[in-house]
Amino acid sequence: MTTINIKDISLNYSEAGNSNNHTIVFAHPVLWGAEMFDSMISELAKDFHVVAVDIHGHGQSGYRDSLTLDDMTDDFYWLLEKLRLSSVTWFGYSIGGMLGMRLAVAHPEKVDSLILMATNAHLDAPEIKQQTLQLWEMFRDGHREDIADAGLQILFARKTYENQPELIERYRNKLVNFKEVGGMFAAALAVFERDDIGDKISAIKVPTLVVAGREDLTATPQEAEFIASRIPNAQLKIIEDANHLLAVEKPREVLKIIRAFLKVGVYKHS
């Protein structure tokens, strides 16, 4: 992993694959780090140059006391500048997708295509915001064991509980054993306090793939349909029996969809 200083904070990233190939930048969800992409990256690095970033407050990346998505987007613009990267595929998952849409609107020269997974252009519904913010506050205050089961039910589908109990247990252990969570909470607050960009994303003109889990209540299939309807010629994929963590629930299905998109969206576009 490598760290670059951007406006007095450190941003951490790793690289894989041949740097002469087209670049895919992976931006992970809040709470779960870039390691959730490891198996996907190992496959895609055979054909692409892959950069996996630690978003603010995660891994080795620093954060400011008051984070906004716009400030975070600007930081990643300057990270791409320092890495001399342009025309990348931005694979944004949850908050990573929120950053990707903002980057594509503000700096279209940096983004050649978008993969938007389990993400939102609109604001959260008030009842969802209240529920998840309360869980985050308890998480920050050390009550991780108390909120683990409720939190996981927002993240995993019913069939995942039935068919992959070891996956549920692994992520439960991760959740209750986090140590430093201040940066994660700051990033989560940036999500909760974001602006609505539903009226701006029609300015995005690059090939875009929008993916959601059928059972996701925080980044719903309806929201994915909205995003895909506003970005010209965007592709929409809804994965059955999957929730917010669809990339780890259905890794082979997700990888197949992404490879199909990259073959068309990138190779034919470039």
Who wins on pLDDT, 268 or 52? 52
pLDDT value of residue 65: 86
Reference 210, options 200, 222, 224, 220; nearest CA is 224
The per-residue pLDDT for range 31-86, each reduced to its tens digit, is 998 989 999 999 999 999 999 999 999 999 999 988 999 999 999 999 999 999 99
Crossing angle for the helix pair 182-192 and 69-82, nearest 10 degrees? 110
- Number of other CB atoms surrounding residue 229 within 10 Å: 13
CB crowding 147-157: b at 16 or more within 10 Å, else e: bbeebbebbbb
Who wins on pLDDT, 269 or 264? 264
CA distance linking residue 149 with residue 151, whole number of Å: 5
CATH of the domain at 79: 3.40.50.1820
Residues 6+ away with beta carbon under 8 Å from 252: none
Overall domain count for the chain: 1
Helix (H, G, I), strand (E, B), or coil: what is residue 262? helix
Q: How many CA atoms lie within 13 A of 172 on its CB side?
A: 16
Alpha-carbon dihedral sign for residues 90, 94, 98, 101: positive
Across the range 214-231, mean pLDDT stands at 97
Range of the domain at 160: 2-266
Provide the CA 93 distance to its chain's centre, in angstroms: 2
Token pair recorded at residue 213: 């889990």
Crossing angle for the helix pair 144-155 and 126-140, nearest 10 degrees? 140
- Residue 175 pLDDT class (50, 70, 90 cuts): very high
- Residue 263 pLDDT class (50, 70, 90 cuts): confident
What is the DSSP secondary structure assignment for residue 10, as one 8-state letter?
E
Question: What is the share, in percent, of the chain residues with pLDDT greater than 90?
Answer: 90
